[in-house]
Chain A
Amino acid sequence: MVTTFVFVLTAAVMLVAALVAVLKNNLVHAAMGLVVTLFGTAVLFVLLEAYFLAVAQVVIYVGAIAILIVFSIMLTRRVGADWGQQTNATWPFALLVAGLLTVLLGLMVRGWAAVTAQPASQAVPADMTARLGAALVDPNGYVVPFEVASVLLLAALIGAVYVAWGGRKAEKDAQG
């Protein structure tokens, strides 16, 4: 009963925060709405007893991505105080596509047996995190995607450093 209550509360807060993130003109408020939504996702993970995912969600999305977003907003010239119009002339088409997607997703989820089925009431094993870690580096598990992802991240890192260096070189050239 407590779980259901927490779920309903979290879902309501998440919906409101998501609307704030999309509809607010003030960019910093929109970013805060996004943060609250991401926190709500973490709470949902906790309700599903996926503690590692919950904490990882906060570390990655709130700790890194959201802070980056807020920081970049604050670095804009008027600190996100741009009160322009949020939509352009194509908004009816966007609404149509979004509405269709919602309907189709709803139909798909309704036909999916796993949604209505009661979850098997087995406890989540205590060493979930250890299993996840082992699976990530297991040759029979996910070692190839894992390594590919790390190579991708390394490439992004090197790219970022290259871009930063290029900027500095151009500056030096400009100085003579």
Chain B
Amino acid sequence: MAFLQDPTVIVEWLRQLFLGWGLSPSLASLLLYVLGALALATGPLLWVIFLIWFERKAVARIQDRLGPNRVGPYGLLQPFADVLKLLTKEDIIPAKADKFLYWLAPILSLAGVLLLWPAVPLGKGIGGNVNVAVLYLVAVGTLSTFAILLAGWSANNKYALLGAFRTVAQMISYEVPIVLALLVPVLLARSMNLQDIVAAQDVWFVVAAPLAALIFFVASIAEVGRTPFDLLEAESEIIAGFHIEYSGMKFAMFFAGEFLHAFTTGVLGAVLFFGGWRGPGAESYPILGLLYLWIKAFLLYFVIVWIRGTFPRIRIDHLLNFSWKFLTPLALVALMVTAVLDKMLAPLGAWPRALALLVANGVIWLATQRWLRGVEKRLQPPMVAQPGEYPVAHYTPPEPQAAEGD
């Protein structure tokens, strides 16, 4: 059971196997890279099957429904039935659609999420060890924006295009607070490598930077396009937004991409702010680290589902104002305060430093609340409408039309 302590023995064993088949060393390592990429892409996609069941069940329970309960125990096999249904659906391409881009968009959507995974450290010595990982996450995130933009445009449908416009406005706006919030763990760990960030979390960064964690979490939900920020596919306004014309497996790829993106957000939140794979025994048994990471990520994912089940959708101007006028300034202040304080307190140990930063974050939060109250007082609209101030809708029956003789 040596692989429990050092998973790299599996790789070495496979390499020896390939060399034994008479392959050249460079070909063997190429084959190993391909295998690793396959495993990394397949694992999350299989996990999505469970996520779909979990999310449907959880949202159903929050809304006092039963959720899937027919196929298999507790409806666990429902996603398989769904996939079979989607596979057998007619694959429709609108007559005036841009065929190539119409095909490309769902693939890009899923690829944009899967490409986030190589940077994620899954355990001590397993998974991503990229030097510029944090920046890489930001770079790859733009792919999903592109996918949605292309899907909206290529389908040649005005609702789809409206969805795409909303997406770009939303995603570009929320990218700013996300990047600013991502800088805080980078500052605290003095590295952009996610492995180093995990290694630096003797005290979880959520203690030292709760505001950055909150901003990252909220803005990430907006990036994924989930309720309460699901304006890009608001059913009641623009029907389904960017994927209105998609059916069958192409639609399923958008769907799976969104679910996986939500879980990936949980994983990234766990890595950046909740210690990643760290936990008792994870140093000597990396597999245990993977389990800890999964549990933390799943808890964060559950909160996202919970938010989805409880919050109403917010309006587009509120959405943009919330990002530019609230999250971005708050993230800037948090970043500057963290940078100055962390440099000043560097000689102290991990715990005093984290607690001092926690106090600083608390002060920022109280100041923000005071400021918000002032704004609220200034903006307070009169509670009772003055007569004649607001137009009141009255129902006026249509003019009776003259009956046409035939």
- Chain A residues with CB under 8 Å of B139's CB are 55, 58-59, 62-63
Indicate the member of B136, B161, B165 with the most A CB atoms within 10 Å. B136
Specify the chain A residue showing the minimal Cβ separation from B141.
A63
Q: Contact: B165 with A52, CB < 8 Å?
A: no
CA distance A59 to B138 in the complex (A): 7
- Chain A residues with CB under 8 Å of B136's CB are 55
Q: Is there a chain B Cβ closer than 8 Å to A71's Cβ?
A: yes
Q: Is there a chain A Cβ closer than 8 Å to B218's Cβ?
A: no
Query: What distance in Å separates the Cβ of A41 from its nearest Cβ neighbour in chain B?
Result: 13
Q: Is there a chain A Cβ closer than 8 Å to B30's Cβ?
A: yes
Q: Is there a chain A Cβ closer than 8 Å to B153's Cβ?
A: yes
Q: Contact: B131 with A67, CB < 8 Å?
A: no
- Given the known interface contacts A2-B30, A28-B153, A129-B132, the answer about A59 and B142 at a Cβ–Cβ threshold of 8 Å is yes
Q: Contact: A74 with B165, CB < 8 Å?
A: yes
Q: Is there a chain B Cβ closer than 8 Å to A56's Cβ?
A: yes
B: interface residue count bin: 20 to 34
Q: Contact: A32 with B192, CB < 8 Å?
A: no
Q: Mark B138-182, 1 if CB is under 8 A from A, else 0.
A: 111110011001100100000001001100100010010000000
- Given the known interface contacts A74-B161, A129-B192, the answer about A51 and B153 at a Cβ–Cβ threshold of 8 Å is no
Indicate the member of A1, A35, A71, A75 with the most B CB atoms within 10 Å. A71
Contact residue among A51, A62, A63 (Cβ-Cβ distance under 8 Å from B131): A51
Q: Mark A1-43, 1 if CB is under 8 A from B, else 0.
A: 1100000000000000000000000101100100100000000
Q: Contact: B153 with A55, CB < 8 Å?
A: no
Q: Is there a chain B Cβ closer than 8 Å to A79's Cβ?
A: yes
- Chain A residues with CB under 8 Å of B153's CB are 28, 70, 74, 79
Q: Contact: B131 with A126, CB < 8 Å?
A: yes
CA distance A128 to B135 in the complex (A): 14
- Given the known interface contacts A59-B135, A74-B153, A126-B131, the answer about A2 and B26 at a Cβ–Cβ threshold of 8 Å is yes
Q: Contact: B135 with A56, CB < 8 Å?
A: yes
Query: What distance in Å separates the Cβ of A130 from its nearest Cβ neighbour in chain B?
Result: 8
Q: Is there a chain A Cβ closer than 8 Å to B86's Cβ?
A: no
Specify the chain A residue showing the minimal Cβ separation from B142.
A63
- Given the known interface contacts A58-B139, A62-B139, A79-B153, the answer about A67 and B146 at a Cβ–Cβ threshold of 8 Å is yes
Q: Contact: A55 with B132, CB < 8 Å?
A: yes
Q: Which of B101-119 contact A (CB under 8 A)?
A: 101
- List 10 A-B residue pairs with CB atoms under 8 Å apart, sorted by A's residue number: A1-B26, A29-B101, A32-B150, A51-B130, A58-B140, A62-B146, A63-B175, A67-B149, A70-B146, A70-B153
Residues of B within 8 A of A (CB): 26, 30, 98, 101, 130-132, 135-136, 138-142, 145-146, 149-150, 153, 161, 164-165, 168, 172, 175, 192
Given contacts A67-B142, A67-B146, 6 further A-B contacts (CB under 8 A): A26-B98, A51-B132, A55-B136, A55-B139, A63-B141, A71-B165
Q: Please give me the 3 A-B residue pairs with the lowest Cβ-Cβ distance, nearest first.
A: A63-B142, A58-B139, A55-B135
